[in-house]
Structure 1
Amino acid sequence: MAGHSQFKNIMHRKGRVDAVRSRVFSKLAREITVAAKMGMPDPNMNPRLRSAILAARAENMPRDNIERAIKKSQGGDAENYEEIRYEGYGPGGAAIIVEAMTDNRNRTASDVRSVFTKSGGNLAETGSVAFMFDHVGMVEFDAKVGDDDTMLEAAIEAGANDVESDAEAGHIVYCDQGALAEVSKALEARFGEPRKSALVWRPQNAVAVDDEVGEKLLRLMETLDSHDDVQSVYGNFEVSDALMSKMG
């Protein structure tokens, strides 16, 4: 009986992992299709598409899936997605930005508002929290590509503004929005293909919260991120290492 229960538990976990993986691939494919439709289907001529493909590779998305998403953008049956940014406040007053891609604005707005409300937060007007963030380019590399000084020197030469390095998390290079493609290519020429290259919302100041509030915020972020229409979620708060390990 114990063995049977353990098997069911393993299968349940595998089902959850497969479901998450499928959702991630779906979001990546949507971004690839939209990027290719808005620009050219050649990643060498379309920085946004190139960034989307890098993100897909980082998640081990099969090449066939990537090529299928690009081809879909060139067909007449490609869905028309609208890009929308939602802004709100979570528990403790933390500022949160949600980037979504939807074919039904009313449905997505209603769903996002409901998630904020149930978490003890509230959805706010566009622009109400964005001023607390900088919209910048970000390029990520694994720590193994070089030490902190080497990456900092290379980033400055490439035209970047700032670098955050960590022995485990790796290197995160920040630059102006318009310089992302140039900085990314310059660093790739030296260190190889980056782990990620994208436009992100970087908080100007991160506010430390206690574990009780932090847990509510992390669950809110997780719920938002799990929505099919949500592409990215950003917050301006920091939680303790102990809570991150607990929620991990």
Structure 2
Amino acid sequence: MGRAFEYRRAAKEARWGKMSKLFPKLGKAITMAAKEGGEDPEMNAKLRAAIATAKAQNMPKDNIDAAIKRASGKDSAEIKTVFYDGKAPHGALVIVECATDNPTRTVANIKSAFNKGKGEFLPSGSLKFMFSRKAVFETKFPEGADIEELELELIDFGLSEIEVNEFENDKGESEKTLIIYGEYENFGTLNEGIEKLGLELISGNLKFIANDKHEFSDEQIADIDALLDRLEDDDDVQAIYTNIE
């Protein structure tokens, strides 16, 4: 399956490090998960994962509680998830996930970002058969644990693949996490298995994973990242998925 992230981790962390953008996006994810499956985290695996993701990003508890309460408010009823397809420079494929209360505004902004970023906006669903929807969890690396044993135990909960993700953090230090994949419908059971095994969750989401990844040069990546920056600056954009290796 290749690298766990849709594009370079360092670039992604730099963009998502903007707290003024990050917390509202995390809050929307919590609100929508609570509205979809109920406000009790014990009974809602998607909400538990959204809360764990927010905590891993140091989102204050008051913000998390407020996001859950918004699920029963009148405004939350208008927020819906929409997906847009497009191509970045050099032919990179892009799926943009948005949470919006005004699809007309959002689609206009996404189209504008693709145009200004020298990309191409495609009809919705154009890339449907080039990506697969997967449950994807990232956990802290369990030092001293037997990864093969963890893999065997998680298979019973719906694991399809596990990989060690090694990267250099913003301090220039080598760091490792575990990336755990499962089928779309196994999100809840896989999240349960991660909890039972005591793995510390960093994030848990349903993501689009490209069926075929493509490598790009550093120069091409710079052009692609310029478009991704434009897209992620939009308040309605929750996540971006590409076919970049």
TM-score greater than 0.5 by the shorter chain: yes
Give the match's secondary structure for 1:83.
Answer: strand
Give the match's secondary structure for 2:209.
Answer: strand
Q: Which of these residues, 201, 209, 212, is aligned with residue 205 of structure 1?
A: 212
> Match of 1:144?
142
Matches within 5 A, 1:18-57: 20-57=18-55
> Match of 1:164?
163
Aligned residues: 223
Q: So what's the TM-score if we normalise by structure 1? A: 0.83
Q: Which of these residues, 185, 198, 201, is aligned with residue 178 of structure 1?
A: 185
> Match of 2:106?
108
| Aligned amino acid, residue 185 of structure 2 | G
* CA spacing shift, 1:173–1:115, aligned 2, 3 Å: same
Is the CA contact (8 Å cut-off) linking 2:99 and 2:238 kept in structure 1? yes
Is the CA contact (8 Å cut-off) linking 1:151 and 1:171 kept in structure 2? no
Q: How far apart are the structure 1 equivalents of 2:43 and 2:84?
A: 30
The structure with the largest helix share of the pair is 1
> Match of 1:155?
154
Is the CA contact (8 Å cut-off) linking 2:157 and 2:186 kept in structure 1? no
Is the CA contact (8 Å cut-off) linking 1:97 and 1:233 kept in structure 2? yes
Is the CA contact (8 Å cut-off) linking 1:137 and 1:177 kept in structure 2? yes
| Aligned amino acid, residue 108 of structure 2 | S
> Match of 1:9?
none
Is the CA contact (8 Å cut-off) linking 1:86 and 1:126 kept in structure 2? yes
Highest relative contact order (Cα 8 Å, sep 6+), 1 or 2?
2
Q: Which of these residues, 53, 71, 74, is aligned with residue 72 of structure 2?
A: 74
* CA spacing shift, 1:17–1:125, aligned 2, 3 Å: closer
Q: How far apart are the structure 2 equivalents of 1:18 and 1:218?
A: 13
Identity %: 34
Q: Deviations over 1:7-49 (max 9, x none)?
A: xxxxxxxxx9999202111111112112212221101112222
The runs of 5 or more residues in structure 2 that have no matched partner are 1-13, 167-174
Is the CA contact (8 Å cut-off) linking 2:164 and 2:176 kept in structure 1? yes
Q: How far apart are the structure 1 equivalents of 2:119 and 2:146?
A: 41
Structure 1 or 2, whichever has the larger Rg, is 1
The runs of 5 or more residues in structure 1 that have no matched partner are 1-15, 239-248
| Aligned amino acid, residue 103 of structure 1 | D
Give the match's secondary structure for 2:212.
Answer: coil
CA shift, 1:77, in A, is 4.7
Q: So what's the TM-score if we normalise by structure 2? A: 0.84
* CA spacing shift, 1:77–1:110, aligned 2, 3 Å: closer
| Aligned amino acid, residue 187 of structure 2 | L
Q: Deviations over 1:79-107 (max 9, x none)?
A: 61121100011111111000001111111
Is the CA contact (8 Å cut-off) linking 2:16 and 2:22 kept in structure 1? no
CA shift, 1:129, in A, is 1.4
Divergent runs of 4+, >6 A: 16-19
